[in-house]
C-alpha cells in the first residue's frame, strides 16, 4: 500500500467533481481528483446549462468558450398532445445570460478537464475510491488503482483488476461520485426516495424540416416528453416509457466515442421515433433522418438525508437526483460544488468554524426540498390557468432553473413556489 497526502480529495470527475476541483485548486488548495473510469463521458446526457450556471462559469472566466460551442435557447414551451398550453421565457430573467445554453455534457466535461489541467491538476483516471476512515483532523481514503487484463480464448473478455492500493490522507473528501455514490454509502447516509422510478428513452437524430428554436415539453395524460433543439439540424426526443424492461438501475455513463454501424437497427429506431413523436405530439412535422445516439435511462427523485459530515461532503448526483427535463440535478450540483470548494478554502486557509459546512448541508437540504416539491411545490393563484394548475407537480421538475430564477419562471406561469 502506497501512502499519499492532499488537502482535498475529490472522488468523481463528472461535471460536478471537475468544477469543484477547479474552484478548490484555483483557491490555492492541494487537490487530488480520482475517477474509476478511463476518461470523461462521450455522450450529451444533461445537455443544457441554466443561466445561474452560466453566471458561475462567467465568474470563473469559463462562460465564453462554452458560449462558442453551445446554442442559446430562450423559451421552454409546454404542450398537451395537441397544442401549446403555456410557456416560460428565460429572457424574462434578465441578467447577462437570459437563456439556456444547449451544450452536450461531453463537450462541457472536456472543457472543464482542460481548465483543471491549466490549474495544475490532472485527473487520476482508473482510480477507484473504496473506503474511508475519519481520523479527527484528517480522513484516510483507500483508493484502488485499476488495470485491465484480457481473459477468455474463443470469446475474449476484459476484466478489471486492482493493480495497487493507495492510502490517501486528506483534510477533506468531496464525494462527487454520482447517483450510486460509494462515499455516501460509506458515510451511512440514507438516499431517500421522493418519487418512484420513471423510465425514459432519449433519441438524438438529424431532422429535416423547420429547425427547432425552443425546448418543447409535452405533458400528455400519463407521460412527460421533451424535444430539445441541439446544434445545427440535430434534435433530441426524450420519451417517458410507459413500461420498461430490463432497466432497473441508473446506468453508468458511456465513455466510448465510436459507434458501430448497424443500419437495419437504426432504421427501425428511426421509424419508432417518428411513430411515437406523431402519437404524442401530432404537431411535430419534421422528418427524422439519421439517428446519431439513443439510450434508456431511469430517473428517481431522491435526496440524501445529509450532504455529509465531519470531513466528507457530497455534491451533485451523489446528494440528489431529479428528472431529465429541467436538468436541475447537474446544474444545481455545479453550484454546490463551487460553494463546497469555497467553504473548504475558508476552513483550510481562513480557519473558519466548522459551522460553515453545517450551513452548506442546511442550504442544500432547503434547496432540494423546494426543487423536489417537499415544501408544497408550485402553488396556484386565483388566475392560474386550469391546465397548468392540474399539472403543476409535473411542471416543477421541468423548469430549467433553481433559487430566485425558479420563482421568476414559476411566476410567468402564475404559480408560486
Ligand atoms: C444515460 C444517461 C442519460 C442522462 N440524461 C439526462 C438528461 O436528459 N437530463 C439531465 O438533466 N440529466 C441526465 N443525465 C444525468 C446527468 O448526466 C447527471 O445529472 C450528471 O452527470 C451529474 O453529474 P455529477 O458530476 O454529479 O455525477 P456523474 O456525472 O455521474 O459523475 C460521477 C463520476 O464519479 C465516478 N465514480 C463513481 N464511483 C466512483 C468511485 N467509487 N471511485 C471513483 N470514481 C467514481 C464516475 O465514474 C463518474 O465519472 C443522464 C445520465 C445518463 C447516465
Q: What is the pLDDT of residue 13?
A: 98
The residue whose C-alpha atom lies closest to atom 11 belonging to ligand 1 is 327
Residue 177 beta carbon below 6 angstroms from any ligand 1 atom: yes
Q: How many A from CA of 390 to the centre of ligand 1?
A: 32
The residue whose C-alpha atom lies closest to atom 37 belonging to ligand 1 is 177
Q: In the numeric block, which cell numbers belong to residue 386?
A: 386550469
Q: Cα-Cα-Cα-Cα dihedral of 281, 286, 290, 296, to 10°?
A: -10
Q: What is the pLDDT of residue 256?
A: 62
CATH for 192-300 is 3.30.9
SS (H, E, C) the chain: CEEEEEEEEEECCCHHHHHHHHHHHHCCCCEEEEECCCCCCCCCCCCEECHHHHHHHHHCCCHHHHHHHCEEECEEEEECCCCEEEEEEHHHHCCCCCCEEECCHHHHHHHHHHHHHHCCCCCEECEEEEEEEECCCCEEEEEEEEEEEEECCCCCEEEEEEEEEEEEEEEEEEECCCCCCHHHHHHCCCEEEEEEEEEEEEEEEEEECCCCCCEEEEECCCCEEEEEECCCCEEEEEEEECCCCCCCCCCCCCCCCCCCCCHHHHHHHHHHHHHHHHHHCCCCCCEEEEEEEEEEEEEEEEEECCCEECCEEECHHHCEECCCCCCHHHHHHHHHHHHHHHHHHHHHHCCCCCHHHHHHHHHHHHHHHHHCCCCCCCEECCCCCHHHHHCHHHHHHHCCCCHHHHHHHHHHCCEEC
C-alpha 155: how far from chain center: 36
Task: Give me the phi and psi of 288, to 5 degrees please.
Answer: -80, 120
Q: How many A from CA of 179 to the centre of ligand 1?
A: 7
The residue whose C-alpha atom lies closest to atom 1 belonging to ligand 1 is 297
**Which residues have CB under 8 Å from 85's CB, separation 6+?**
78, 79, 385, 387, 388
Residue 297 beta carbon below 6 angstroms from any ligand 1 atom: yes
Residue 37 beta carbon below 6 angstroms from any ligand 1 atom: yes
Q: What is the pLDDT of residue 251?
A: 66
Q: What is the pLDDT of residue 102?
A: 97
Q: What is the pLDDT of residue 158?
A: 77
Q: Are 228 and 47 in contact (CB under 8 A)?
A: yes
Q: What is the pLDDT of residue 218?
A: 98
Q: How many A from CA of 251 to the centre of ligand 1?
A: 9
Q: What is the pLDDT of residue 155?
A: 73
Q: What is the pLDDT of residue 414?
A: 98
Which atom of ligand 1 is nearest to 236's Cα? 8
CATH for 2-47+104-190+305-375 is 3.50.50.60
Q: Where are the domains of the chain?
A: 2-47+104-190+305-375, 192-300
Q: Are 225 and 281 in contact (CB under 8 A)?
A: yes
Q: What is the pLDDT of residue 354?
A: 85
CA dist 71 → 98, 201, 203, 296, 317 (Å): 13, 23, 19, 24, 25
| Pairing of the two strands 287-304 and 234-241 | unpaired
Chain position carrying cell 483488476: 161
The residue whose C-alpha atom lies closest to atom 3 belonging to ligand 1 is 45
Q: What is the pLDDT of residue 176?
A: 98
Q: What is the pLDDT of residue 167?
A: 98
Which atom of ligand 1 is nearest to 34's Cα? 43
Residue 295 beta carbon below 6 angstroms from any ligand 1 atom: yes
Q: What is the pLDDT of residue 148?
A: 82
Mean pLDDT per 10-residue interval, the chain, length 417 residues:
97 98 98 97 94 98 96 97 96 96 97 98 98 96 91 76 97 98 98 95 90 93 96 94 68 64 76 94 92 93 97 98 97 98 97 94 98 97 98 98 98 98
Amino acid at each position: 500500500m502506497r501512502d499519499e497526502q492532499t488537502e482535498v480529495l475529490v472522488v468523481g470527475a463528472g461535471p460536478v467533481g471537475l468544477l469543484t476541483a477547479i474552484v478548490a485548486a484555483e483557491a490555492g488548495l492541494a487537490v487530488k481528483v480520482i475517477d474509476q473510469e478511463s476518461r470523461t463521458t462521450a455522450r450529451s446526457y444533461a445537455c443544457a446549462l441554466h443561466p445561474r450556471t452560466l453566471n458561475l462559469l462567467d465568474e470563473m472566466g469559463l462562460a465564453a468558450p462554452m458560449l462558442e460551442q453551445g446554442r442559446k435557447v430562450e423559451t421552454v414551451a409546454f404542450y398537451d398532445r395537441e397544442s401549446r398550453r403555456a410557456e416560460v421565457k428565460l429572457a424574462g430573467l434578465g441578467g447577462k445570460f437570459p437563456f439556456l445554453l444547449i451544450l452536450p455534457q461531453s463537450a462541457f466535461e472536456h472543457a472543464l478537464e482542460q481548465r483543471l489541467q491549466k490549474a495544475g491538476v490532472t485527473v487520476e483516471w482508473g482510480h477507484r475510491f473504496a473506503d474511508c476512515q475519519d481520523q479527527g483532523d484528517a480522513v484516510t481514503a483507500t483508493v484502488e488503482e485499476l488495470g485491465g487484463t484480457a481473459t477468455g480464448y474463443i470469446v475474449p473478455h476484459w476484466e478489471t483488476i486492482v493493480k495497487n492500493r493507495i492510502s490517501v490522507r486528506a483534510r477533506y473528501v468531496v464525494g462527487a461520485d454520482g447517483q450510486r455514490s460509494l462515499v455516501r454509502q460509506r458515510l451511512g447516509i440514507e438516499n431517500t426516495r421522493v418519487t418512484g422510478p420513471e423510465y425514459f428513452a432519449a433519441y438524438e437524430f438529424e431532422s429535416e424540416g423547420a429547425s427547432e428554436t425552443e425546448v418543447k415539453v409535452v405533458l400528455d395524460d400519463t407521460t412527460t416528453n421533451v424535444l430539445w433543439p441541439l446544434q445545427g439540424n440535430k434534435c433530441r426526443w426524450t420519451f417517458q416509457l410507459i413500461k420498461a424492461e430490463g432497466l432497473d438501475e441508473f446506468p453508468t455513463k458511456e465513455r466510448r466515442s465510436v459507434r458501430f454501424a448497424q443500419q437495419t437497427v437504426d432504421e427501425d429506431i428511426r421509424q419508432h421515433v417518428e411513430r411515437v413523436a406523431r402519437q404524442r405530439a401530432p404537431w411535430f412535422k419534421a422528418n427524422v433522418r439519421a439517428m446519431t445516439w439513443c439510450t434508456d435511462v431511469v430517473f428517481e427523485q431522491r435526496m440524501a438525508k445529509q450532504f455529509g459530515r465531519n470531513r466528507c461532503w457530497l455534491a451533485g448526483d451523489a446528494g440528489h437526483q431529479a428528472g431529465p427535463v429541467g436538468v436541475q440535478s447537474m446544474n444545481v450540483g455545479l453550484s454546490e460544488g463551487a460553494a463546497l470548494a469555497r467553504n473548504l478554502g475558508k476552513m483550510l486557509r481562513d480557519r473558519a468554524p466548522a459551522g460553515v459546512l453545517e450551513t452548506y448541508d442546511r442550504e442544500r437540504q432547503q434547496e432540494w426540498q423546494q426543487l423536489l416539491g417537499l415544501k408544497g411545490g408550485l402553488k396556484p393563484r386565483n388566475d392560474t390557468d386550469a391546465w397548468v394548475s392540474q399539472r403543476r407537480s409535473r411542471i416543477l421538475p421541468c423548469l430549467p432553473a433553481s433559487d430566485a430564477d425558479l420563482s421568476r419562471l414559476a411566476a410567468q406561469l402564475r404559480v408560486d413556489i
